[in-house]
A = this chain, B = another copy of it.
Amino acid sequence: MPYWFTERHTPTRGLTFQVEKNLYQEKSPYQILDIVETQDFGLMMLLDGIIMVTEKDEFVYHEMLSHPALFTHSNPQKVLIIGGGDGGTLKQVLLHPSVEKAVLVEIDEMVVNASKRFFPKLATAFEHPKAEVRIEDGIAYLKRSENEFDIILIDSTDPVGPAEGLFHKEFYADCYKALKQNGILTIQSESPWIPDLQPIIRQANQDLKSLFPLVIPYTAAIQTYQAGLWLFQMASKKHHPLNEIDSSKHTGFNFRYYNPELHKGCFALPQFIKELLA
C-alpha cells in the first residue's frame, strides 16, 4: 500500500514523497538502512531515515563530489574515498583514465551489500580491477596512511552517528598527511540553507583553511537533499580549480550534471554563502 513519507530538514519542514513499496530494511551496528520504491525518484536508499541515494538523481551528487577535484589535479593516479558505500562516487572516479587505483573505505558492509542488490549500476564499480573495497573505519585507515593519495573524497552521511568524526579538524589533518604534495581533498559539506547546519559548514571551512593553502567551496543543486542546495569544499595543497582545468580531458565522459563550464561556474557562490564563510 503506498504511503507518504516526510524527511524532515528541520523540526518544521521537510521533503514529502509517496513511497510505492518498502523493498528492504536492515539494521547494522551503525545504522538502519531502508530501500524503498518511489514514483518520483525511482529506487531510494535511506540511512536512519535520511535519503542517501536515488536512482534518478544520484548523478548530481556523485559527479559533483568527484569530478571537480579529479579535473583540477593534473594527474590523479591514486584516489581514496571515505564512505560512499553505495559505489556511486567510486564509479565516477574510475571513469578517469589517469586513475590507477581507487580505494574505498566504508565502515558499514551493509551499505555495500544493499547497493550490490538494489543499485547494480553503481555497484559495478566494486568489481573494477582498479578498485579496492575495504570494510573498516576510515578514520583508523587514514591514520596509517602518509603521502599516499592524489585525491581524497569524503563521501559521508550527515555529522551525526557514524560519520560524526569525519567532520573534525583532527580528521582533516590526517587527510592532509595522507595526501601527496599536490593532493586535493573534497568533502561533502551539507546544505547552506539549513540554519542548524551553517555553523558546521563554517567550522569545516575554518578547519580546512588552517591546514590547506587553498580552500574553495562550491555548490550543486541536489533535489533530494536538504533544501535542494548542497555545498562541497575542496581543500588543495597546490592546484586551483579555476587555473588548471584541461578541457581536452573531458572527452569520453557521459556527464549529466558536471561539464567544463560548470567546473568554473559552480565555484561562484551566492552572496549569503560567501558571507557565511567570510
Interface residues of A, Cβ cutoff 8 Å to B: 6, 10-18, 38-41, 57, 60, 193, 219, 221, 223, 227-229, 255-259, 261-262, 264-272, 274
Query: In the complex, what distance in Å separates the CA atom of A265 from the CA atom of B221?
Result: 14
Number of this chain's copies in the complex: 2
Contacts of A272 in B (CB 8 A): 256-257
A16 and B10 contact, Cβ closer than 8 Å, known pairs A221-B221, A261-B269, A270-B257: no
Q: Could you tell me if A40 and B18 are in contact, using CB atoms closer than 8 angstroms?
A: no
Q: Could you tell me if B268 and A264 are in contact, using CB atoms closer than 8 angstroms?
A: yes
Contacts of A60 in B (CB 8 A): 270
A5 to chain B, nearest CB (A): 10
**Contact check: which of B16, B261, B270 meets A14 at CB < 8 Å?**
B16
Query: In the complex, what distance in Å separates the CA atom of A13 from the CA atom of B39?
Result: 9
- Among A16, A255, A262, max chain B CB count under 10 A is at A16
Return the chain B residue nearest A223 by Cβ: B227
A40 and B12 contact, Cβ closer than 8 Å, known pairs A227-B223, A256-B271: yes
Contacts of A11 in B (CB 8 A): 18, 39
Query: In the complex, what distance in Å separates the CA atom of A268 from the CA atom of B257?
Result: 11
Return the chain B residue nearest A39 by Cβ: B12
Q: Could you tell me if A271 and B262 are in contact, using CB atoms closer than 8 angstroms?
A: yes
Return the chain B residue nearest A63 by Cβ: B271
Return the chain B residue nearest A38 by Cβ: B12
Query: In the complex, what distance in Å separates the CA atom of A38 from the CA atom of B274?
Result: 26
A55 to chain B, nearest CB (A): 14
Query: In the complex, what distance in Å separates the CA atom of A268 from the CA atom of B229?
Result: 16
